[in-house]
Structure 1
Amino acid sequence: MAEAGDENLYAAARDIARALGKDPSAAGDILQILSGYGATGNTSSNSRANASRVGGAYLNLDRSLNSLETQISSYIVEDRPIWSDPVDSRNFLDAVDELISMAGDMRSMAGDKSVAICLSRADELIQQVMFRLQEEFGYVMDRASESFDSDDEFSGEEDNDIGYGVQSQQVIVARPVTDYKIVIEPLQSSVIGDLNAIAVRMVAGGFGKECSRVYSSRRREFLEESLSRLHLRGLSMEEVQESPWQDLEDEIDRWIKAVTMVFRVFFPSERLLCDRVFSDLPVSSVTDLSFMEVCRGTTTQLLNFADAIALGSRLPERLFKVMDLYEAVQDLIPRMETLFSNKYCSPLKHEAVAIHKRLGEAVRGIFMELENLIRRDPPKTAFPGGGIHPITRYVMNYLRAACKSRQSLEQILDHTGNDAGSETRPLSVQLIWVLELLETNLEGKKRTYRDPPLCFLFMMNNGKYILDKATDNELGSILGEDWIVKHAAKLRQYHSNFLRSSWNQVVALLRTESPYLMLIENLKLFKARFDEVCLMQSQWVVTDEQLREELRSSIAGIVSPAYSSFVGRLKASPEINGRRGEPFIAYTVEDLELRIKGLFKER
Structure 2
Amino acid sequence: MASQKPPPPLPNMSDNSGSGEDKLIAVARHIAKTLGRTETMTDDILQIFSTFDGRFSREKLSNKIDADDPAAFEHALKSLDRRISHYVSSDRPIWSDSADSAAFLDSIDELVATVRDWDPMAGDKPVAACLDRADDLLQQAMFRLEDEFRLLIERSGEAFDLNRLNHHHHHHKNDPISADYSLDSDIEEDEDDDDDVENDNLDEQSIPVAHPISDYNIVIDALPSGTISDLHEMAKRMVAAGFGKECAHVYSSCRRDFLEESISRLGLQKLSIEEVQKMAWTDLEDEIERWTKAANVALRILFPSERRLCDRIFFGLSSAADLSFMEVCRGTTIQLLNFADAVAIGSRSPERLFKILDVFETLRDLMSEFESVFSDQYCAFLRNEAATIWKRLGEAIRGIFMELENLIRRDPAKAAVPGGGLHPITRYVMNYLRAACGSRQTLEQVFQDNGVDYHRNADNPERGLSSTSLSVQISWIMELLESNLEAKSKMYRDTALSSVFLMNNGRYIVQKVKDSELASLLGDDWIRKHSAKVRQCHTNYQRSSWGKVLAILKLDRSSLAANGVAKSLRDKLKTFNSSFDELCRAQSNWVIADEQLQTELRISVAGNLLPAYRSFLGRLQSAAELGRNAEKHIKYSLEDIEARTNELFQGNGGSFGGRK
The question of a shared fold, defined as TM-score above 0.5 by the shorter chain, is answered with yes
RMSD, aligned α-carbons: 3.0
User: Residue in 1 aligned with 2:207?
Assistant: none
User: Residue in 2 aligned with 1:201?
Assistant: 237
User: Residue in 2 aligned with 1:246?
Assistant: 282
| Aligned: 1:99 with 2:131 | no
CA shift, 1:61, in A, is 3.1
User: Residue in 1 aligned with 2:156?
Assistant: 144
Counterpart mapping for 1:258-297 below 5 A: 258-279=294-315, 281=316, 283-297=317-331
Q: Distance in 2 between matches of 1:436 and 1:600?
A: 28
CA shift, 1:436, in A, is 1.4
CA shift, 1:341, in A, is 0.4
Task: Spell out, residue by residue over 1:363-410, the C-alpha distance to the aligned partner (whole angstroms, 9 max, x if none).
Answer: 222222212111111111111111110111111111222222222322
| Aligned: 1:448 with 2:482 | no
CA contact (8 A) 1:511 1:522 kept: no
Q: Distance in 2 between matches of 1:233 and 1:595?
A: 66
Q: 1:427 to 1:158 in 2, by over 3 A?
A: closer
User: Residue in 2 aligned with 1:480?
Assistant: 523
User: Residue in 1 aligned with 2:594?
Assistant: 544
Q: 1:561 to 1:295 in 2, by over 3 A?
A: same
Counterpart mapping for 1:191-590 below 5 A: 191-279=227-315, 281=316, 283-414=317-448, 415-416=450-451, 422-513=465-556, 514=560, 515-577=565-627, 579-590=628-639
Amino acid of the residue matched to residue 459 of structure 1?
Answer: L
Q: 1:153 to 1:264 in 2, by over 3 A?
A: closer
TM-score by length of 2: 0.77
CA shift, 1:65, in A, is 2.0
Task: Spell out, residue by residue over 1:264-320, the C-alpha distance to the aligned partner (whole angstroms, 9 max, x if none).
Answer: 1111111111111211x3x30111111111111011001111111111122222222
Q: Distance in 2 between matches of 1:153 and 1:566?
A: 89
Q: Distance in 2 between matches of 1:243 and 1:510?
A: 68
User: Residue in 1 aligned with 2:647?
Assistant: 598
Task: Spell out, residue by residue over 1:214-248, the C-alpha distance to the aligned partner (whole angstroms, 9 max, x if none).
Answer: 11111111111111121122221111121122221
Q: Distance in 2 between matches of 1:509 and 1:288?
A: 93
Q: Distance in 2 between matches of 1:87 and 1:591?
A: 111
Amino acid of the residue matched to residue 641 of structure 2?
Answer: L
CA shift, 1:117, in A, is 3.5
Amino acid of the residue matched to residue 298 of structure 1?
Answer: T
CA shift, 1:335, in A, is 1.2
Q: Distance in 2 between matches of 1:75 and 1:240?
A: 51
CA shift, 1:160, in A, is 4.2
Q: 1:220 to 1:422 in 2, by over 3 A?
A: farther
Q: For structure 1, which segment, 490-499 or 586-595, has the greater mean C-alpha deviation from structure 2 after superposition? A: 586-595
Amino acid of the residue matched to residue 313 of structure 2?
Answer: V
SS at match of 1:379: coil
Q: Distance in 2 between matches of 1:55 and 1:406?
A: 78
Q: 1:422 to 1:147 in 2, by over 3 A?
A: closer
User: Residue in 2 aligned with 1:67?
Assistant: 79
CA contact (8 A) 1:511 1:519 kept: no
TM-score by length of 1: 0.84
Q: Distance in 1 between matches of 2:634 and 2:68?
A: 144
SS at match of 1:508: helix
Task: Spell out, residue by residue over 1:323-370, the C-alpha distance to the aligned partner (whole angstroms, 9 max, x if none).
Answer: 222222111222111111000000011111111121122222222221
Write out the 4+ residue segments of structure 1 that deviate beyond 6 Å after TM superposition: 146-149
Q: For structure 1, which segment, 95-104 or 267-276, has the greater mean C-alpha deviation from structure 2 after superposition? A: 95-104
SS at match of 2:377: coil
Identity %: 55
CA shift, 1:153, in A, is 7.6
| Aligned: 1:179 with 2:212 | no
Q: 1:318 to 1:467 in 2, by over 3 A?
A: same
SS at match of 2:451: coil
Q: Distance in 1 between matches of 2:159 and 2:545?
A: 87
CA shift, 1:96, in A, is 1.4
Q: 1:432 to 1:182 in 2, by over 3 A?
A: same
Q: 1:153 to 1:368 in 2, by over 3 A?
A: closer
CA contact (8 A) 1:176 1:230 kept: no
SS at match of 1:542: coil
SS at match of 1:587: coil
Task: Spell out, residue by residue over 1:498-521, the C-alpha distance to the aligned partner (whole angstroms, 9 max, x if none).
Answer: 110111212222123432222222
Q: Which runs of 5+ in 1 are unaligned?
A: 9-14, 20-33, 40-52, 163-174
CA contact (8 A) 2:184 2:212 kept: yes
User: Residue in 2 aligned with 1:79?
Assistant: 91
Q: For structure 1, which segment, 120-129 or 405-414, has the greater mean C-alpha deviation from structure 2 after superposition? A: 405-414
Q: Which runs of 5+ in 2 are unaligned?
A: 1-6, 12-17, 23-28, 35-64, 169-181, 188-210, 455-463, 651-655
Q: Across the two proteins, how many residue pairs are aligned to each other?
A: 545
Q: Distance in 2 between matches of 1:176 and 1:546?
A: 47
Q: Distance in 1 between matches of 2:293 and 2:113?
A: 50
CA shift, 1:582, in A, is 1.8
Q: Distance in 2 between matches of 1:379 and 1:465?
A: 19
Q: 1:354 to 1:389 in 2, by over 3 A?
A: same
Q: 1:56 to 1:502 in 2, by over 3 A?
A: closer
